[in-house]
Amino acid sequence: MKKLSMHEALNQALREEMHRDERVVLLGEEIGKYNGVHYVTRGLYAEFGKERVIDTPISEESFTGVGVGLAIMGMRPVVEMMRMDFSLRAMDQIYNHMAKIRYMSGGRLSVPMVLRGPEGPGPNPGLTAQHGQQLTVLFAHCPGLRVVSPSNQYDAKGMLKAAIRSDDPVVFLEPGPLNNKQGDVGEDDYLVPLDRGEVKHEGSDVTLIGYGASVALCLQAARDLEHDGVSAEVVDMRCLRPLDMGPALASVAKTNRAVVAEYAWQSYGPGAEIVARLMAEAFWNLDAPVTRVSGQEVPLPYAANLEELSKPQVADIVAQAKATLR
């Protein structure tokens, strides 16, 4: 194991996959000589050249479409969004082509591509309303896509490698708040499944469920609850389409209580889907209603103090967990 930041872990995954498979090419804005705004592609242009690390115009729809075409023709493109907010400019390509070409062609064509980039607030305040949104639900809602959101550096590397090798189109959502955080990453060639959640912390009294950056909040909440004699289990959903409910359902069967936490707005979001499935599939195991902690339903403020207030807080997860125990 080696301590790496999130962007260093992703960089390592890209480098290893580009060495392993010459079909892997990268496309995106300023990912070449500039090394990428978030340094995920640092050093790759110098190592692999302009034919495989392709700087694109500021036109998300066009270079996402180029990625779709390359994938159909047998390449393994990895398309970077500088921020996932900018994917809104490319939704026609994502929804109507990336997700549906296999279906529309009767299975004759595949789109083995990865659309990746950071989403949600950054590690530092100030991204504002059009750069720090959590748009997970837009991708998870669409059949034909795989949608994943790693919560730590180890998973990020293994899941990106698995995404590049997948024959399905994968939307890879990187947790913005964790971009500069350090964590253990394996230096060997390992894969993390794209269709399985995982228990990140064992407990017996209440289940805390998150995905992406909110898992870190749940883990801190579990540590805080332990000081008050409450044993919390933390489940990382990790994969949002397909949504693996197995670990969450098994955990709720043990604890009989659940809190779902996410950075996204609460209404109609991934958390709502998780709660709905818990109520349908684990109703008789629940001793209290499933509760939720989410981002405030406002555009992300610019002012640092207001941005902090708009984000989900560890204290709120702790309070909701205790409420389920009453």
The answer to whether 115 and 166 are in contact (CB under 8 A) is no
Whether 131 sits among the annotated catalytic residues: the reply is yes
Integer CA distances (angstroms), 242 to 171, 217, 312, in order: 12, 23, 25
* Cα 101 to Cα 49: distance, rounded to the nearest angstrom: 30
> CB neighbours of 250 closer than 8 A, spacing ≥ 6?
none
Among residues 153, 49, 134, 184, which one has the least CA distance to residue 312? 134
Q: Which residues does residue 199 pair with via DSSP β-bridges, in sequence order?
A: 235
Whats the size of the chain, residue-wise?
326
Would residue 7 show up in a list of annotated catalytic residues for this protein?
A: no
Phi, psi at 146, each rounded to 5°: -95, 135
Q: How far is 113 from 79, CA to CA, in rounded Å?
A: 8
Pairing of strands 76-80, 114-119: parallel
Q: Which of 80, 131, 201, 262 is the catalytic position?
A: 131
Tokens read off for 136: 């997970």
CB atoms near residue 29 (< 10 Å):
19
**Single-letter amino acid code for the residue at 283:** F
- DSSP labels, 295-317: E-SSPPPSSHHHHHHHS--HHHH
Selecting among 17, 29, 60, 198, the annotated active-site residue is 60
Catalytic residues: 60, 131
